[in-house]
């Protein structure tokens, strides 16, 4: 069975913006093109990407980029299954992380999928405690 990767907003933004780690996301998507992996993103994380694009460009530029994203072999997860809904509530209450990350973590716990992110701040403390697999697209940035 092929691995299933779920992208965090920051992972897709890294790819689109040519940021460090973007090459790692590109490889995952290429694996999906080659039929060796599946890639997903939930609608809330895609909304975060769209919001970012609107902030950097404008709505027309964001719409153009969104159209291009939809050409990638990425399944957009629409809505929440009941068990993801309940797990997300538990995760949100326990870790107090942003809603998009909460849903992403819940999906990866329920589906036993691989979370793709650079968000060490919110995800690192949850990774071991919740026994989720994480594909870190880049090393933790040192804050001074």
- CATH label of the domain that carries residue 96: 3.40.50.1010
How far apart are alpha carbons 134 and 118 in whole angstroms? 9
Judge whether residue 142 has pLDDT over 80: no
Q: What is the dihedral of CA 131, 50, 142, 97, to 10 degrees?
A: -40
Q: Which domain holds residue 36?
A: 3-136
Judge whether residue 23 has pLDDT over 60: yes
Query: Mean pLDDT in the chain?
Result: 94
Residue 50 lies in a domain: yes
Q: How many domains are there within the chain? A: 1
Does this model's pTM top 0.85? My answer is yes
Distance of CA 7 to the CA centre of its chain: 2
Residue 117 lies in a domain: yes
Contact 37, 3 (CB under 8 A): yes
Residue 142 lies in a domain: no
Mode of pairing for the β-strands spanning 133-136 and 37-42: unpaired
Residue 53 lies in a domain: yes
Residue 18 lies in a domain: yes
Residue 89 lies in a domain: yes
For the chain, give the percent of residues with pLDDT over 70.
Answer: 97
pLDDT tens per residue across span 34-80: 999 999 999 999 999 999 999 999 999 999 999 999 999 999 999 99
Among candidates 39, 43, 45, which has minimal Cα distance to 26? 39
Mean pLDDT on 73-88:
97
């Amino acid at each position: 069975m092929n691995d299933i990767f779920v992208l965090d907003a920051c992972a897709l933004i890294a790819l689109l913006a040519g940021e460090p780690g973007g090459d790692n996301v590109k490889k995952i998507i290429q694996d999906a093109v080659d039929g060796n992996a599946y890639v997903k993103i939930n609608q809330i994380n895609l909304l975060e990407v769209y919001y970012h694009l609107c902030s950097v460009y404008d709505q027309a530029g964001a719409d153009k980029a969104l159209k291009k994203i939809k050409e990638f072999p990425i399944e957009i997860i629409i809505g929440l299954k009941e068990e993801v809904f309940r797990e997300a509530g538990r995760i949100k209450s326990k870790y107090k992380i942003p809603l998009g990350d909460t849903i992403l973590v819940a999906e990866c716990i329920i589906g036993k999928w691989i979370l793709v992110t650079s968000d060490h701040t919110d995800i690192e403390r949850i990774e071991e405690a919740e026994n989720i697999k994480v594909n870190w697209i880049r090393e933790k940035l040192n804050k001074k």
